[in-house]
A and B are shown apart, each in its own frame.
Chain A
Amino acid sequence: MEKTGAKKIQDFLINYGVIMIMFILVIYTGITHTNFLTWNNANNILLNMSGRLVIALGIAGCVITAGCDLSAGRIIGLGGCIAGTLLQKIDYSGKFYPDMKPWNIFVALLVVMLICAACGAISGFFIAFLSVPPFIATLAMMEIVYGANLIYTNATPLGGYTAEYTAVSSGRFLGINYQIWIAIIVAAITWFIFNMTRHGKYMYAIGGNPQAAEVAGVPVKTTMIIIYAKAAAMYGLAGFMMGARAGGASVNLGLGYEMEAIAACTIGGVSVTGGRGKVSSAIIGVAVFELMKAALQFLGVDANAQWIAIGVIIFIAISLDIRKYVVRK
């Protein structure tokens, strides 16, 4: 059947509507505010994107299996705080472990990611083996992680990081911040896992049809645990990155980021009904959010009103996204 011109335009709008709105906004802001389209500002937006992208790529795995992860934000906080306690300057007055030498930064990162992965693995265990819905299992983990972090840090904010740690954000290689490099590397690894490994194919299969996956001999349960553990390790990494950027961390680091990450994934084309979604989806979604935030800021929109803008974008984006599947029936 030949598609008519009008139908083609409609399809195009459904597929790329949100991205087009974003472009119009960016171009408009660029024309009216000359310092918006500058290298400095672009770098800033990329820096903002990098942490968010790592979170979104982690959560994308959960969403592709028709799940979600509400514990992401709190795990980011935990990761940021653990990294903070291990990487404070030896002469900092408010040091968490007063007599401890700052750890090797790579060892610290590894420990952070392992602890966070363990949290994710526990959520994954309850989801896979005890059939707790992902929404509830990760909600429970969210509460547990927050409590654990409060107890661990005594609810005191952390600061006085070593130069080595803050350099994770400020240091550059080929003129691009390390933090952005990290995001690029994580995106590349995630692409590899999604497309070039059995695990990735199993993930799509479980999201597409869990019963059929079971029948086809897919190890559904272990795959689910790996997905949630892997995602949590990435939240830990994001917490580590965000702590370095801010030069400090508190238990509230990452609060609410899970929602934005889920929204970003969906805007970019990860289907909440499962089975669909790419690495590029997460990148597009995160870019839409961060560009929009920056543009609105330049346009002088009240910071509080930006929340409303985010909500409106989610409404529009998901209504459009769902159209792709509704018409198929």
Chain B
Amino acid sequence: MAEYKLELKGISKSFPGVKALDNVQLSIRPGTVHALMGENGAGKSTLMKCLFGIYKMDTGEILLDGEKVNINNPDEAMKHGIAMVHQELQPIPARTVAENLYLGRFPMKGFGPFKWIDHKKMYTDTRHWLDEVGMDFNEKALLGSLSIGQMQSVEIAKAVSQEAKVVILDEPTSSLSDNEVETLFRIMNDLRDKGVAMIYISHKMDEIKRIADDITIMRDGTYVGTWPAAEISMDEIITKMVGRELTNVYPQKNHKIEDEVVLEVKGVSSIHERSFQDVSFKLRKGEILGFGGLVGAQRTELMEGIFGIRGKSAGEIYVHGKKVETKNPKAAMKAGIGLITEDRRGNGIFGCLSIKDNVGISVYNKFLNAGFILNHKAINKVVDESIEKLRIKTPSPKELIQNLSGGNQQKVIVSRWLANDPDILIMDEPTRGIDVGAKHEIYEIMEDLAEQGKSIIMISSEMAELIGMSDRICVMCNGKLTGEIDAREEMTQENIMQFATQF
């Protein structure tokens, strides 16, 4: 038997303009849990998608039990005994556990060409596999009635039922309670005893130390190294994950932070137990406040809560010392808060509308003749100015926003908020998915706003950007504010990572 159950060698993968994976390797021993670690965007998920046949790799090979295999789609991956428990589960909540388990491969019975689904066998078999992973819920229960943890164990049961020899677990614990994590670890230990190899992607240090046998670290799409889990400390892991130079250029900081507190958030909690809890912070006039943390730290949820998109169960928000109730975005805007959301396609742009309409939508109240007729001339002027000032590349303001590049779309959204002129602008991952040139322009706009005495909150998962742009950094982990870094010299990736992995 080969030493390794699965080997990935020299894997490279490019997307237009980005080299996502560069000569990456990964070797998994049978009957072990292999942790794959790295910052957001280090290429972990991309690597797993290449392995699972969702992406086609440019170069590299996959060896299973020492033999080279070709995997072109998830179906072939499963035939080779590779199963994946997705970061975002994609089951059918309205159908039963058994149906989800056997979807696409229902057991059939009948005679001759007449076949129908053998429900009895399906239910008995499902029962068997659920017992196998130690789950006692009913096989006929609707999947949607289960908790996320239970759904995950159904996914694992499915992997086991397909006799998977390699199971990929991509951040399986990000939405689990402590009890559910214990159950998951028990199942994983059982599988390990049965000789199954597992690839475990997680950001949570304590879990890694508990469950992993080997650790492979990736950084910026490259392979850093592999170590036995027992021989590497948490600090070493962090250093190896972030150890890179700051490459982006940030504008000269000329803005002055004043003493006046423009926004104070006191003890704000989400209506959901696992989202942001008891968060308090202050934002001063002319300040750029960075919010760091890992994916799932609930930073976006917190900001959307402050802006009135998500429900709050407790806490108070003060703008210029006056208490405001931001029960919906309209109320938040009235209080002088703006939000550029993280999910540009989901709740930022109106794809089928023009640039003009996309900029104008929040400011029509300011441009009315006789109280109700839109003053198109004035709106056109604002839009034309924005296009020029922010250097939006477009043939005309009438162009549909969906035809622009990501960076230009983002500039249109920024224009919308500049036209609205809020005192406090929250920018959630403002440079995600846009090219370097556009990034720099967004940074300049931020600096410009701060110089005008506006205050900015910036969520960023890019360490370099967070450190380069922020006057002060708040770090969140699992819905709680775990740290605040004031002094410039303490703004290091290691310090931020320390706070971000506290729980």
Interface size of B as a range: 20 to 34
Kindly state the separation between the CA atoms of A219 and B331 in the bound complex, as whole angstroms: 10
Q: Could you say which residues of chain B place their CB within 8 Å of the CB of A328?
A: 402
Chain B residue with Cβ nearest A198: B364
B353 adjacent to A214 (CB under 8 Å): no
For B372, the closest partner residue in chain A by CB is A197
Kindly list chain B residues whose C-beta atoms are within 8 Å of the C-beta of A276. 352
Query: How many A residues have CB within 8 A of the partner chain?
Result: 24
| A104 interface residue (CB < 8 Å to B) | no
Secondary structure dominating the interface of B: mixed
Task: Output the nearest chain A residue to B339 by Cβ-Cβ distance.
Answer: A215
The answer, yes or no, to whether A295 is at the interface (CB within 8 Å) is no
B443 adjacent to chain A (CB < 8 Å):
no
- Answer yes or no: B203 CB below 8 A from chain A CBs: no
A266 CB to closest chain B CB (Å) equals 15
Nearest Cβ distance between residue A278 and chain B, in whole angstroms?
13
User: In the complex, how many angstroms separate the beta carbon of B415 from the nearest chain A beta carbon?
Assistant: 12
CA distance A275 to B351 in the complex (A): 9
* Bound-state Cα–Cα, A303 to B402, Å: 45
Give which listed residue, B309, B350, B373, contacts A205 with CB less than 8 A.
B350
Distance in angstroms from A192 CB to nearest chain B CB is 8
Contact with B along A298-329 (1 / 0, CB 8 A): 00000000000000000000000000000010
Contact B362 A217 (CB under 8 A): yes
Does A216 sit at the interface, judged by CB under 8 A?
yes
Q: Is the CB of B309 within 8 A of A201?
A: no
A196 contact from B330, B350, B360, B374, Cβ within 8 A: B374
A284 beta carbon closer than 8 Å to chain B: no
What's the nearest-Cβ distance from chain B to residue A224, in Å? Answer: 14
Inter-chain contacts of B364 with A (CB < 8 A): 198, 201
Interface residues of B in 357-401 (CB under 8 A from A): 357, 360-362, 364-365, 368, 372-374, 376
- In the complex, what's the smallest C-beta–C-beta distance from B123 to chain A, in angstroms? 33
Number of residue pairs spanning A and B whose beta carbons lie under 8 angstroms apart: 73
Q: A204-B357, A214-B309, A216-B416 are in contact. Are A209 and B347 (CB under 8 A)?
A: yes
List chain B residues, Cβ under 8 A from A204: 350, 353, 357
Q: Does A255 contact B (CB under 8 A)?
A: no
Residue of A nearest to B348 (CB): A212
A288 within 8 A of B: no
Instruction: Report which of B333, B353, B373 forms a contact with A217, defined as CB distance below 8 A.
Output: B333
Max chain A CB contacts within 10 Å: which of B333, B350, B402? B350
B356: nearest chain-A partner, CB-CB: A201
| B373 x A215 contact (CB < 8 A) | no
Is residue B110 contacting chain A, with contact meaning CB distance below 8 A?
A: no
Q: How far, in Å, is A311 (CB) from chain B's closest CB?
A: 28
Q: How far is the CB of A141 from chain B (nearest CB, A)?
A: 27
Distance of A275 Cα from B349 Cα, bound (Å): 12
CA distance A127 to B351 in the complex (A): 23
Residues of A within 8 A of B362 (CB): 216-217
Q: Which of A175-217 contact B (CB under 8 A)?
A: 195-198, 201-202, 204-205, 208-209, 211-217
List, in ascending order, chain A residues with CB within 8 A of B352's CB.
208, 271, 274-276
Report whether B328 and A212 are in contact in the complex, using a CB–CB cutoff of 8 Å: no
**B17 contacts A by Cβ under 8 Å:** no
Interface code A266-300, partner B: CB below 8 Å = 1, 0 otherwise? 00000100111000000000000000000000000
Q: Is the CB of B374 within 8 A of A211?
A: no
- The verdict on A275 contacting B309 (CB below 8 Å), with A198-B365, A201-B364, A218-B361 known, is no
A211 to B328, CA, bound (A): 12
Q: How far does the alpha carbon of A95 sit from the alpha carbon of B341 in the complex, in Å?
A: 62
B149 within 8 A of A: no
In residues 55-110 of chain A, which contact B (Cβ within 8 Å)? none
Closest CB in chain B relative to A66 CB, distance in Å = 11
With both beta carbons as reference points, the residue of chain B lying nearest to A218 in the complex is identified as: B361
Q: Does B329 contact A (CB under 8 A)?
A: yes
- 5 inter-chain pairs at a CB distance below 8 angstroms, sorted by A residue, are A198-B368, A204-B353, A214-B309, A214-B347, A275-B351
Measured CB to CB, the residues of B under 8 A from A are: 307, 309, 328-330, 333, 339, 341, 346-353, 357, 360-362, 364-365, 368, 372-374, 376, 402, 416, 420
Contacts A198-B374, A205-B350, A216-B361 aside, 12 further interface pairs with beta carbons under 8 A come to A196-B373, A197-B372, A201-B357, A204-B353, A209-B347, A212-B346, A215-B309, A215-B341, A216-B362, A216-B416, A217-B420, A271-B352
